[in-house]
Amino acid sequence: MGCIHPTPDELGFATAEMLYIDPDTCIDCGACADACPVDAIRPDAALTADDQWYAGANAEYYQSNPPSPEWYRRQPPQIARVSADGLRVAIVGSGAAGFYAATALLRHPGVRVDMYEKLSAPHGLIRYGVAPDHPATKGVAGQFRWPAGQQKRFALHLGVEVGGAGISHDTLLDDHHAVIYATGSAGERRLDIPGEELPGVIGALQFVGWYNGHPDHARLAPDLTGRRAVVIGNGNVALDLARILTADPDALAGTDIAKPALMALRCSAIEEVVVLGRRGAAQAAFTTPELYALSRVPGLGVVVDPEDVVSGDGPKLALLRELAERPRETGGKRIVLRFNAAPEEIIGDGAAAGVRLSTGEVVEAGLVLRSIGFGGATFDTVAGRVSPGVYATGWARRGPTGGIGTNRTCAEETVATLLADYAAGALNAPRRPEPAGRRLRLWPVGSHGMKKVDASRSS
């Protein structure tokens, strides 16, 4: 019906906080609910009182973006099946971007895909980045199972580092027509302020990896003995950190949170998490739906200073104003959202004891989490092509922005470029009859093996 916007070819798709359903043109066919990978769609008649806010947010979008007749003339995108029989592609990285690229390739009969992942479990940030109290989002990995005819043309190699001891880039290129890098972002941004190296200052990548059981961060032992923690930065990752630190451990016990993290959180003394945004409330990096979900966590206080939200408009400011007007509850845990609070130094004698702001104010805390976004080099591409035969997608292509779904359109574009290069004869044929994985006897993991991977993680 053309009733969900923005679509991938509309301005604003890349930066949209969510997709919106037009209540006036939706015919309740339910097709979107079937297709939604994260189970985000509900009929309006089934919304709880708390969820009514989302109905309002959807309707409001169409007041500011009135429907255009063009929307209804547009045909749904057709996925052209190309003649790609015999095409062999290696994908490096098994996160959302890598799996969306595999999905787009396997639709074309005859294409074979070998995926290489350096960790012993697949799905990258879906597994190790999404917060455990967002199980529906983690469930997106469930869509990466294809019909048998496609599945048998796919091989997943776990524990194989490309460019490391496992396999070289040149070998991959020799053994496939093309290599797609879907390796995400290599690291975290740094604050470059005094005190950043003090014990007790932990980057989001490590902290998120710790509570998600990432093998590189499982041994982290954050100091949770103080009553206050500070999170620097106010993107969605910062909200994840603050929410997990203040969550009821009994509620977390029903999730796939790593057991050592759950045990540590059960003993945590933290009652307050202060989230520092260096700019004003109107520029806050968190999205409105994530703020709304936070504002509805039972028993959690979300504190906003009314002075910070005097001016500005839009749904985010309206919600922040509503929070600023809420009566402050005593007792219980709380998250304090601060604005115009740029950190200048992390203070402490031998360990972090707080953050000094540019105003001179000191926010005392025994745990300081840096959540200022990810970094690292990205591939320089044109429509996903680094050079004929070498491609990139996901954060490795775009940089660290956008949620899981953004990777789908990104990967489809990269794959379209690759297929066009193949059709134009721009790709070298593999030098050897077998893809590198099989030739080097790297046995792919099948569905039985995947069940074992998942079971070992939750034990």
Binding segment for ligand NAP (CB under 6 A), chosen from 104-112, 260-268, 276-284, 434-442, is 276-284
For residues 155 and 126, give the distance between their C-alpha atoms in angstroms, rounded to a whole number.
Answer: 19
402 binds ligand NAP (CB under 6 A): yes
Binding residue for ligand NAP, selected from 122, 233, 389, 394, defined by CB under 6 A: 233
Taking CB atoms, the residue at the shortest distance from ligand NAP is: 235
Instruction: Examine residue 240 and tell whether it contacts ligand NAP (CB under 6 A).
Output: yes
Interaction between residue 394 and ligand NAP (CB under 6 A): no
Q: Binding segment for ligand NAP among 73-81, 114-122, 280-288, 332-340 (CB under 6 A)?
A: 280-288
User: To 5 degrees, how large is the angle CA 373–CA 225–CA 228?
Assistant: 55
Rg value, the chain, Cα: 23
Return the range that interacts with ligand NAP (CB under 6 A); candidates 59-67, 296-304, 366-374, 410-418.
366-374
Taking the CB of residue 253, how many other CB atoms lie within 10 A of it? 12
Query: By three-state DSSP, how is residue 138 classified?
Result: helix
In angstroms, the Cα distances linking 21 to 48, 388, 419, 442 are: 18, 39, 33, 46
Is residue 359 part of the contact set for ligand NAP (CB under 6 A)? no
- Considering beta carbons, is residue 230 or 353 the nearer one to ligand NAP? 230
From residue 176 to residue 205, the character string flagging contacts with ligand NAP as x (rule: CB under 6 A) and all else as - is -------------x-x--------------
Stretch that binds ligand NAP, among 228-236, 242-250, 332-340, 447-455 (CB under 6 A): 228-236
Query: Nearest approach, Cβ of 246 to ligand NAP (angstroms)?
Result: 16
Nearest to 268 by CA among 294, 301, 246, 237: 246
Handedness of CA 177, 182, 183, 187 (dihedral sign): positive
Peptide bond into 6 cis (omega under 30): yes
How far apart are alpha carbons 413 and 239 in whole angstroms? Answer: 31
DSSP states of 348-360 as a string? -SSS--EEEETTS
For ligand NAP, which residue of 82, 126, 230, 237 counts as binding (CB under 6 A)?
A: 237
Interface residues with ligand NAP (CB under 6 A)?
189, 191, 232-238, 240, 277-279, 283, 285, 287, 290, 343, 371-374, 400-403
